[in-house]
Structure 1
Amino acid sequence: MIEFFFDCSSPWTYLAFHNIQPLADEFGETIAWRPILVGGIFNAINPSVYAQRDQPVPAKAAYMKKDLADWARAAGLAIRMPPRVFPVNSVKAMRGCLWLDRERTSAMLPFARAVFEAYWGADLDISQDAVLHEICLRLGVDPDEFLAGIAAPAIKQKLKANTDEVMARGGFGSPTIFVDATDMYFGNDRLPLIRLALARRRASAA
């Protein structure tokens, strides 16, 4: 099984979210989607992310923008970097993923995809209720039930628990991906290594 710990506020996570699904299908793997709040991780164990934002290295920042554009082009995705609101508060969206996973399992994945597309493709502020309301309507989810559901203490606690868990298992950002519980990978550019790990496992089982 593949575990995919993710926050929709990351462009690299959007790429990995898109790219890992056909990879999992190729190897007959199921994906456990694990929403987290990456800001909580940065606050707790990885504050260097904020320092890099406050004092960026111009040459590195320019290359990272090109690198992201190259990866997005390869994936066939539109990613605007930076969006008008960056970083964005994704807590409602990530709680929404958990609520939909709990109440309507089939709706979580389309919702996460729609949130990624709204923020990184359409440059919409996913922290706003109006944006989430529109996404819900398009997916056939009752927006009022959604907004009430994501305020439930159990959903808030689940998001915190997922975030705490990935840190306890060695994660420090999004996306953090595990193969068979203990084999950890970080980032979209590690997917070729995940492919090799799955191929090795398939060969050893043959």
Structure 2
Amino acid sequence: MSLEYFFDCSSPWTYLSYKRIEHICAATKTELIWKPFLVGGVFNAVNQSVYEARANPVPVKARYYHKDLQDWARYRGIIIGQPPVFPVNSVKAMRGCFVALESDCISSYAEQVFKAYWTELKDISQDEVLADIVKNCMLDEADFFERISSDVYKQKLRANTEELVERGGFGSPTIFIDSEDMYFGNDRLELVEHKLKEG
């Protein structure tokens, strides 16, 4: 079986899910296919209500949202703060995921991007923040920035974003089992695990 993991590191719920996804795939001998995409592009296409909810939050729902997020963070053993820059432009960081994929260090790269933004509260749109992550992943800094600035890597990210829209996705994380069975959100991982164990 295979699991496609559509993810954007600017999503806290995706930060909560990615290590669990790796564990589930390893435990069930499922092929994990990392699919970086731009969640803002998906929102613009099919889920613009997100922007209205941010601009005019319902106070009681907003309070519960933050409680729920911190409950999940404690459960997963992850520290999630409130970044001063939110939402953040994750374009460069997400293009960088393709470089990390090709260099076989996507798990480490994604972890460091998530941690930099959500735990260390750094602005992952800034080159100096990405440069530190690149060095920690033992990638060539000049090569990394040259590649993520190229049309090839721009198109890779655009293609995954458009693909998710075409397949009915509307946010991050989105998971497909064997190309067709879609699940959305960190809180659906039990169902994902159950499905994979069923075979």
CA contact (8 A) 2:10 2:88 kept: yes
Name the residue aligned to 1:40.
41
Equivalent position amino acid for 2:87 in 1: P
Shift of 1:48: 0.3
Name the residue aligned to 1:155.
153
Q: Which runs of 5+ in 1 are unaligned?
A: 202-206
CA distance in 1, matches of 2:60, 2:38: 29
Name the residue aligned to 1:93.
93
CA contact (8 A) 2:97 2:110 kept: yes
Shift of 1:139: 1.6
**1:124 aligned onto 2:132:** no
Shift of 1:145: 1.2
Shift of 1:65: 0.5
Name the residue aligned to 1:183.
181
CA contact (8 A) 2:9 2:15 kept: yes
Name the residue aligned to 2:133.
135
CA distance in 1, matches of 2:19, 2:187: 12
Shift of 1:142: 1.6
CA distance in 2, matches of 1:89, 1:183: 30
**1:18 aligned onto 2:4:** no
User: SS state of the match for residue 28, structure 1?
Assistant: coil
User: SS state of the match for residue 12, structure 1?
Assistant: helix
> Structure 1-normalised TM-score?
0.94
Name the residue aligned to 2:3.
2
CA distance in 2, matches of 1:48, 1:151: 31
> Structure 2-normalised TM-score?
0.97
CA distance in 2, matches of 1:149, 1:50: 31
Aligned length: 198
Name the residue aligned to 1:29.
30
CA contact (8 A) 2:30 2:196 kept: no
CA distance in 1, matches of 2:101, 2:197: 29
Q: CA RMSD in A?
A: 0.9
Name the residue aligned to 1:68.
69
CA distance in 1, matches of 2:31, 2:188: 18
Shift of 1:99: 2.1
Equivalent position amino acid for 2:86 in 1: F
Q: Percent identical across equivalent pairs?
A: 52
Name the residue aligned to 1:174.
172
Shift of 1:109: 1.9
Shift of 1:199: 2.1
Name the residue aligned to 2:191.
193
Equivalent position amino acid for 2:109 in 1: F
Q: Which runs of 5+ in 2 are unaligned?
A: none
CA distance in 1, matches of 2:100, 2:80: 25
Name the residue aligned to 2:60.
59
CA distance in 2, matches of 1:162, 1:56: 30
CA distance in 2, matches of 1:99, 1:159: 11
